[in-house]
Structure 1
Amino acid sequence: MTGILFDDRSADRREQDADGGFAVPDMSTVAVMRRIVRDHVVPRLKLVLLTVLAMTFAAAGTGALPFLMQFAADEIFIAKNEAFLLGLPPVIIVVMVARSWAEYFARVSQGYLSNRIVADLRSQLFEKLAFADVQWLQSTHSGRFVSVFMNDVTTINTAASQTITAVVQNFMQVVFLCGAMIWMDWRLALITLAALPLGGWFVRRQKSRARQSVTSALQEVGALGTIVSETLKSIRVVKAYHRESHETNRARHIIERTLRHMMETVRTRAASGPITEALGGVGIAAAIFYGGWQGISGNVTLGHFMGFMTAALLVYQPVKALASLHNQLIEGTVAAARVFAILDQDQRVTEVADARPLVLAGGALRFEGVTFGYEPDQPVLKNFDLDIPAGTRVALIGASGAGKSTVINLILRFFDPQQGRVLIDGQDVRTATIASVRLASALLTQEPVLFDDTIKANIRYGSEDASDEAVVAAAQAAAAHDFIMGLPNGYESRVGEAGQLLSGGQKQRIAFARAMLRSAPILLLDEPTSALDGEAEARIQEALETLLEDRTVIVIAHRLSTIRKADLICVMDGGVIAELGSHDQLVASGGLYARMMAGQGHSGPGGAMVLVDDVAVARAAVARADDRIRAAQA
């Protein structure tokens, strides 16, 4: 079983890492909107123009209502004009039906546009996840990435749909209705609308507070996602240590903090409504007073006043929507900035302009003066030189942190060395295409990685173009065919999340079959049988030997049985090669390897000898061996 650690940071550290490994740029609302328009709106300009046209038509229909009301009052109720009585209702019906259909088209096209933006962003985020550097992925909290992928993008969807409606339809309604008010009586219009700038000033004052509360809320949602992800992955450990209450309390604290930030956002968002309503009430009251005084004086007709008041009452709904738009924009742009922070992460491992596929000739490997550190000032490998002829089995042994896994990471080009070169069949991996470098190797780890799909799909993951016959042949070679056929659905049986419906040995055999199907000349092993008991290991040992045939093999070895079979044993210590040779050669030399064999081996599962790779244990073992040698000499 792999070790399980929890991300249980202090509050200060949690604030420092609030965005889970990706720095969120301080982008203004205008900058974010400009990018969204450039990347997602402009490419669909024809649809946008049709949407704007439909919304404008619908807004024009709304703008016509005050004039229709004026005609109804003046010509029907006052002038008693029967022609208007017969002609006006059909006109109103035509206007309203046309307005309704225009609004329907506008909403459908606006909904498609906003959801298309969301789909594009999610596709880009997943592509970034798939192609991102391993180092960046390891520093990014998975729960926070999922939160951005799901919650932040949904926030963008809501903001985008409301923004499109507010900016186009509501704005055009305000334009048409205000135009109608000014056309009817510009003095009355100025009196009615005079209070609106005060509402705009109030909304702008809330900008900083709203942005901070939205940012904090999204960060806390991401932190909650991390805890949920950790707890689900580690539920056996949580229960074994009786820490259910501890994890529940961790989640509850974040949930309560999220609630506080969300309520700050709600209060800020809600404040614009009452302010707009109050200012609207002042404007309507002023309009009634001034318009009524003009009516008493005989300067305006009843129809004129009714038409104006219709426009005044209708204009406040879109004005209120525009007032709340500011908060929606802040929520959307904060979420978009977090999305862009991921999309804009620099790619450290890149292809050169003239990269070419590797020309494979057996899978020979060479490290030439390689110096590498995950942090530049903390080298893991130091001037590392290793020449591995094609078809050679090499065992890497050494203490934790000696650089064994780093060797595999560099072969796969998960990272590039700060100095030196890594060559496959004499070709620098940095001058080759990344795809050809990765396809040259097959990787097997201690914990087999399976996907929540069918057994056939998991085996075919090694070669997507493989036929069903090739999949079956690989399973037979991996001693997996018999147990697969014993399942209710055979190769179509699903393995569950992370292969949880299969035993450890069954999962490992599926992983072997996948590696066999890959037919790569280089095989990279992180002791794939070390997690199995002796009986399970014995069942798949023959499959493993079949897999190793005619390949260059690099194995991070812990078991003495594995180490003995290697053609070349590389003893690593502090990022350099301390000893190099076969088992017999290294034992005969009486060096570090011999002393580790004498004092560090202990019985593992099934009686196999396990080489412990802890630094302190290794040093103690060497000291014990030295004591025995001195005692024998005495």
Structure 2
Amino acid sequence: MAEFPKKITDDPYGAAILVRRLVMEQGLVYWRRYLTAFALMAVAAGASAAATYVLGQVINKAYVEKSIPGIVVLSGVTVLLLFVKGVTTYGYAVILSKISNAILANNQRQLFAKLMNESVGFFSERHSSEFLARLTAGAKSITDILNMLINAIGRDLVTLIAMIGVMVLQDPWMSLLGLLVVPPAMLVLRKLVKRIKGLAYNQFTGTADILETMQESLQGIRTVKAFTLEDTMRARIDENIAVVERNANKMARVSNRSNPLMEMLGGFAVAGCLMYAGYSVVALDATPGQFFSFMIAFLMATEPAKRLARLNIDLNSQLVGARMLLEVVDSPASEQPDDDKPALKLSQAKIELRDVSFAYRDNEPVLNRMSFTAEPGKVTALVGPSGGGKSTVLALLLRFYEATAGDILIDGQSISKVSRRSLREQAAYVGQDVYLFRDSIRANIAFGRPGATEAEIIDAAKAACAHDFIMSFPLGYDTPVGEHGTQLSGGQRQRIAVARALIRNAPIILLDEATAALDSESERQVQEAIEHLCQNRTTIVIAHRLHTIMNADAILVVEAGEIVERGRHDDLLRRGGRYASFFRLQQRDMGPVVIPLAATS
């Protein structure tokens, strides 16, 4: 999780400013619906107050006037008023739920859209579980805050005012006695708010830690099983859960600490009112209906009064989640939209790197003034030891990162001066770690070019040597691949990725060790598919297995961010330099594997 300042109420995310922002930016969008909900709340509060008043009159009809017709009529009026309250309560509850669902959906869309405008580097510094927590808890917190405010104003405050009106109407002095408990209650609640903020922040980060451990354990279940890490991961998540549990218990103690005091103060108020009301009935000839009506109104006013008193505590606990979401939404996008830039226009797809330098971290250069040309329609191979900067070249070509110095040109156009979308639409990428979406085989191939026809999907699969194994499945192209494609073998996943690249029909092909993790048979099939893919296209391929690029038009040996050798396979072997050393080493290592297989065939 990213670190945040300890004082989480600093501007621009202070409680008052954040609440105002949520109301202005998200609440006012639905002001017509809120106005309707307010009207229904007012009717419900009025019906409750009227029913309370009428109940007092029923008591008088029964005990003072002894009027049966009066009792029947007023009882009917009470039923009608309570029915009106029920209908209007249902109405505003449904309206508020619809508003909440719309706001929740909009915030989730907004956060996801923002994340899609972030660079690869942005995600490499964070864990994906953090964004899951922000997406779920943060978006829900915003709807909860707005609901709290609306209910506090439209339901609780209006109901409280209506009940106080009934109380004052029955006995002004007794009403004043009931309100004496408010000032001390406010003083106590104010002290609890600061503690709640810190606990709410810890609760959010703790929940994100649980998601992180859960996600890593499930995604890496093969590694967990292979290395018998079940107990280790169980201990880790147990600790995460224990931290959240302890924090939740603290929050429960703090947030509910006001309840005993509120109940005690309410008890004093009720006792005082009962004594005064009883004295009024006995000694001052007040009617029992007046006493009954006042007490019902007073008791019905206590619940909205408690909710209003706790509003500051509940708001501050939810504001932390809202802040977590808005911090991401508000931050400048690390990959600013640049669709206003001219589109990349290709004629030959000639790629040139001119003195390109790059570093992921300061003072740790990865590329050092690298220059080379990938000729159009030909295969250029990058080879060399791990960590030399080969994959970084592809990342810069796709503008996952921006070069810190030098320039990259395609057909004479600097890629930094054209839109990313037009650049990426002209390239097809196949990596060593193929990512397949949890969908069907058909959908995963079609992701290469949305809107592709069934015939185009099948043609791409055939060219990628994937059609036969696809049709061997009972569901054919509708076969689900599972999460990350785990229901397919490594070779099958690679060929699906090649088919996805083929259907894109891009003039530039970027291959990052696409066969490095495959067995010999799968490698042969994928290599055949790649040959179809690279025909008449400008191709840059990264390879550790040198026998896969022996026929490349140009081979560049990359070490420490620089090109130390370049040429064709035969020329480089004759020179006896770094490439020849790598090749001989691989041939020697492969010898014990290849010879026995040949002998047994």
TM range (shorter): over 0.9
The code of the aligned residue for 2:440 comes to T
**Equivalent in the alignment of 1:424:** 410
Cα shift readout 1:366-412 (whole Å, capped 9, x = no counterpart)? 22332222224433223332222222311112333222111111111
**Equivalent in the alignment of 1:10:** none
For residues 307 and 124 of structure 1, the distance between their equivalents in structure 2, rounded to whole angstroms, comes to 51
In the TM superposition, residue 492 of structure 1 has moved relative to its aligned partner by 1.0
For residues 401 and 163 of structure 1, the distance between their equivalents in structure 2, rounded to whole angstroms, comes to 55
In the TM superposition, residue 292 of structure 1 has moved relative to its aligned partner by 2.6
- Asked if the contact 1:160/1:332 (under 8 Å) is kept, the reply is no
Matched position secondary structure for 2:552: coil
Cα shift readout 1:10-44 (whole Å, capped 9, x = no counterpart)? xxxxxxx46699x9885222232223223321111
In the TM superposition, residue 75 of structure 1 has moved relative to its aligned partner by 4.1
Pairing 1:199–2:172 present: no
Q: Decide which of 509, 527, 536 is 2:522's aligned counterpart.
A: 536
Pairing 1:74–2:95 present: no
**Equivalent in the alignment of 2:598:** none
**Equivalent in the alignment of 1:415:** 401
Matched position secondary structure for 1:513: helix
**Equivalent in the alignment of 2:171:** 185
- Asked if the contact 1:272/1:323 (under 8 Å) is kept, the reply is no
- Asked if the contact 2:355/2:406 (under 8 Å) is kept, the reply is yes
Pairing 1:469–2:455 present: yes
| Residues 1:377 and 1:274: Cα distance change in structure 2 (over 3 Å) | same
Matched position secondary structure for 2:341: coil
For residues 9 and 544 of structure 2, the distance between their equivalents in structure 1, rounded to whole angstroms, comes to 45
Pairing 1:511–2:511 present: no
Pairing 1:29–2:15 present: yes
| Residues 1:82 and 1:409: Cα distance change in structure 2 (over 3 Å) | same
| Residues 1:126 and 1:175: Cα distance change in structure 2 (over 3 Å) | same
Cα shift readout 1:220-241 (whole Å, capped 9, x = no counterpart)? 1111111111111222222222
- Asked if the contact 1:505/1:536 (under 8 Å) is kept, the reply is yes
Q: Which 10-residue stretch deviates more, 255-264 or 206-215?
A: 206-215
Matched position secondary structure for 2:435: coil
The code of the aligned residue for 1:369 comes to D
| Residues 1:419 and 1:539: Cα distance change in structure 2 (over 3 Å) | closer
In the TM superposition, residue 607 of structure 1 has moved relative to its aligned partner by 5.7
Pairing 1:359–2:345 present: yes
**Equivalent in the alignment of 1:380:** 366
| Residues 1:604 and 1:133: Cα distance change in structure 2 (over 3 Å) | farther
- Asked if the contact 1:560/1:608 (under 8 Å) is kept, the reply is no
For residues 588 and 125 of structure 2, the distance between their equivalents in structure 1, rounded to whole angstroms, comes to 35
In the TM superposition, residue 364 of structure 1 has moved relative to its aligned partner by 1.6
Q: Which 10-residue stretch deviates more, 586-595 or 197-206?
A: 586-595
Q: Decide which of 250, 273, 280 is 1:294's aligned counterpart.
A: 280
- Asked if the contact 1:118/1:153 (under 8 Å) is kept, the reply is yes
- Asked if the contact 1:19/1:222 (under 8 Å) is kept, the reply is no
Q: Which 10-residue stretch deviates more, 179-188 or 334-343?
A: 179-188
| Residues 1:540 and 1:419: Cα distance change in structure 2 (over 3 Å) | closer
Matched position secondary structure for 2:78: helix
**Equivalent in the alignment of 2:555:** 569
**Equivalent in the alignment of 1:108:** 94
| Residues 1:426 and 1:312: Cα distance change in structure 2 (over 3 Å) | same
The aligned length equals 592
Pairing 1:57–2:71 present: no
- The two structures, once aligned, show a CA RMSD in angstroms of 2.5
For residues 205 and 602 of structure 1, the distance between their equivalents in structure 2, rounded to whole angstroms, comes to 75
| Residues 1:115 and 1:506: Cα distance change in structure 2 (over 3 Å) | same
Matched position secondary structure for 1:354: coil
For residues 24 and 513 of structure 1, the distance between their equivalents in structure 2, rounded to whole angstroms, comes to 49
Matched position secondary structure for 2:364: coil
- Over the matched positions of the two proteins, sequence identity in percent amounts to 33
Pairing 1:226–2:216 present: no
Matched position secondary structure for 1:380: strand
For residues 386 and 518 of structure 1, the distance between their equivalents in structure 2, rounded to whole angstroms, comes to 26
In the TM superposition, residue 434 of structure 1 has moved relative to its aligned partner by 1.9
**Equivalent in the alignment of 1:401:** 387
For residues 271 and 503 of structure 1, the distance between their equivalents in structure 2, rounded to whole angstroms, comes to 57
In the TM superposition, residue 291 of structure 1 has moved relative to its aligned partner by 2.6
For residues 381 and 4 of structure 2, the distance between their equivalents in structure 1, rounded to whole angstroms, comes to 36
- Asked if the contact 1:19/1:219 (under 8 Å) is kept, the reply is no
For residues 502 and 215 of structure 2, the distance between their equivalents in structure 1, rounded to whole angstroms, comes to 32
| Residues 1:145 and 1:351: Cα distance change in structure 2 (over 3 Å) | closer
**Equivalent in the alignment of 1:248:** 234
For residues 116 and 339 of structure 2, the distance between their equivalents in structure 1, rounded to whole angstroms, comes to 21
The code of the aligned residue for 2:450 comes to E
**Equivalent in the alignment of 1:622:** none
In the TM superposition, residue 59 of structure 1 has moved relative to its aligned partner by 1.2
- Asked if the contact 2:117/2:335 (under 8 Å) is kept, the reply is no
Matched position secondary structure for 2:506: coil
In the alignment, structure 1 segments of 5+ residues that lack a partner are 1-16, 610-634
Q: Which 10-residue stretch deviates more, 502-511 or 100-109?
A: 502-511
Q: Decide which of 553, 557, 579 is 2:565's aligned counterpart.
A: 579
The code of the aligned residue for 2:482 comes to G
For residues 48 and 69 of structure 1, the distance between their equivalents in structure 2, rounded to whole angstroms, comes to 31
The code of the aligned residue for 1:177 comes to M
Pairing 1:262–2:248 present: yes
For residues 592 and 485 of structure 2, the distance between their equivalents in structure 1, rounded to whole angstroms, comes to 24
The code of the aligned residue for 1:29 comes to A
The code of the aligned residue for 1:521 comes to P
Matched position secondary structure for 1:238: helix
Q: Decide which of 335, 340, 348 is 2:321's aligned counterpart.
A: 335
Cα shift readout 1:539-570 (whole Å, capped 9, x = no counterpart)? 23222111110111111110111332222222
Matched position secondary structure for 2:360: coil
Matches within 5 A, 1:55-204: 55-81=41-67, 84-204=70-190
- Asked if the contact 2:22/2:146 (under 8 Å) is kept, the reply is no
For residues 588 and 44 of structure 2, the distance between their equivalents in structure 1, rounded to whole angstroms, comes to 81
Matched position secondary structure for 1:379: strand
**Equivalent in the alignment of 1:349:** 335
| Residues 1:602 and 1:563: Cα distance change in structure 2 (over 3 Å) | farther
Matched position secondary structure for 1:111: helix
| Residues 1:608 and 1:537: Cα distance change in structure 2 (over 3 Å) | farther
